[in-house]
Each structure stands twice: as structure tokens, then as C-alpha cells.
Amino acid sequence: MSEGRIEIGAQLDFSEPWSIFRVMADFVNGYDSLKELGPSVTVFGSARTKSDHKYYKAAQKLGYMLAENGFNVITGGSAGIMEAANRGAYSSAKGKSIGLNIELPHEQASNAYLDLGLKFDYFFARKVMLVKYSYAYIIFPGGFGTMDELFEALTLVQTKKIYPIGIFLIGVDYYSPLLDFIRSSMIEEGAIAKEDADLIKLTDDLDEVVSFTKKHIFARIKEMEEIGLTKLSDYSRLKKFQEAHNQRSK
């Protein structure tokens, strides 16, 4: 056999072609488990943040606030900021706490504050599920994985591959240098448009996050009604959310 060629009948490694079924299993499990979810919010941040840190406490408070307002809270299901947001949501009976974890060589344990926990083999399948049912991305301080999720969401919204969602950076002190870089370098060099930077909302005001996300959903309901999408299951779930909100407001 010549170098670099494979003869018919030679022993082949089928592990990569067959991995497509593992990919399919990730997506089927995700869609099947999450398809009935109502409006949800996805929270990201470092798994290394300790429980006495101000950002852990803020994420826990926000998780509770979101659940109290009828949102499901989705995270990567691990420790730190993810645990904090799940913990806050778990302590409320008005929204579900959901963790979408990832299988790693050294097991990444799920936190103890989940109403529903799923594990994925592939990061890209997990990322689809993290954005699929979310009406806001909330990014607390974090590392490479958190930055990956932030810019993935920005790219999807910028290219109109998903319906626009609120993208919040929590931690003005932490994220201000990043926003300065985006405005001073990326925009000035023409790498992005000026309005692209407006997709990001930098704040430490948790009430603003909840309020904006509710208004965003109500605007989406109105839009769906105007273009005749009221028979979709998504519309039904959003409408139930609105009705529950109106009931709480009385």
C-alpha cells in the first residue's frame, strides 16, 4: 500500500463517523426535555466564584428575582455563578432551575439546586440548548468559557440567526475595559458597526435586567399577534407568562 492511501478492505476506524449518533442524542435529549419550557433566562459566569463573593450573592439574588417573576433560570449547571443563579431560582416555587452540564474527562459535577439537570457530550449541542429557549443572556464575570458564550450570543443576534435577546453584562468594574476595547478598537477599525455595540447592556442594576426582559417578551407577544403567529406553541407559552404576570400585578 502506498503511503497516504487506504486499500479497500483495510481496517478502518469508525469511531468518528459513528459519533454522529452521540451528537443526535445530545440534541434529541435537549429538545425533548426542554420543549415545554416557558420563557427562560440563561445565566453565565465563572465556576470558580466562591459563595461569599459579591458576584455570587448578586447571581443568587437575580436567580430568585427572575423565578419570582415567572422565568425559568438556565445555567451550565456547575459551581460558582451557575450554582448561585440556580440556587436563587430553586428557592422560589414560581420558576424552574435548570442546569445543562457537560461531560468532561474529569467529571464536572452538577450543583445541588436543580429542578432539571441534563448532561451533554458536546459543547456545541449544549450551546444550542442554552440559547434556544432563552429571552435574555446574563453574563457575570467569568473566564474563557464565559467569553465564548458572550460572543457566540452577540454573533447570533448580530447576524440575525436568532430572535434578538437582551444581552447583559453584570459587573461594571469587571467588564468596562472590555466595552472600552470594543468601542475604541473594534468600532474604530471597522471590524463591527457602531450599532453592534448597542447589543450589550452593561449594568449592576438587577431590577433593570428583570424589567427589560419582561418588556422584551411583551413586545414579542405583540409582534407575533401583528404578523399572525398566534397558533404557534411559543406564542401560547408567552401568553401564559403574560397572563400570570398580569395576575400577580393586580
Note every long-range contact of 195-199, with CB atoms under 8 Å and residues 24 or more positions apart, other chains counting: 196/154, 196/158, 199/154, 199/157, 199/158, 199/164, 199/167
pLDDT of residue 248: 82
Whether pLDDT at 139 is above 80 = yes
pLDDT of residue 208: 96
What pLDDT band is residue 106 in, cutting at 50, 70 and 90? Answer: low
Tell me the backbone φ, ψ of residue 233, rounded to 5 degrees. -65, -30
Whether pLDDT at 11 is above 80 = no
Cα separation of 154 and 56, whole Å? 24
> For 71-89, what is each residue's pLDDT tens digit?
999 999 999 999 999 999 9
**Residue 247 placed within a domain:** no
**Residue 241 placed within a domain:** no
What CATH number is attached to the domain comprising 97?
A: 3.40.50.450
**Residue 87 placed within a domain:** yes
Structural domain count, the chain = 1
Cα separation of 227 and 158, whole Å? 22
**Residue 88 placed within a domain:** yes
**Residue 6 placed within a domain:** no
Cα separation of 127 and 100, whole Å? 9
Whether pLDDT at 1 is above 90 = no
Whether pLDDT at 209 is above 60 = yes
**Residue 225 placed within a domain:** no
If you average pLDDT over residues 226-239, what whole number do you get? 92
If you average pLDDT over residues 126-152, what whole number do you get? 93
**Residue 248 placed within a domain:** no
> For 159-183, what is each residue's pLDDT tens digit?
999 888 899 999 999 999 999 999 9
pTM, two decimal places: 0.88
What pLDDT band is residue 20 in, cutting at 50, 70 and 90? Answer: confident
pLDDT of residue 105: 63
Note every long-range contact of 233-239, with CB atoms under 8 Å and residues 24 or more positions apart, other chains counting: 237/36, 237/37, 237/38, 237/39, 238/38, 238/39
**Residue 50 placed within a domain:** yes
% pLDDT > 70, the chain? 92
Domain containing 190 equals 19-206
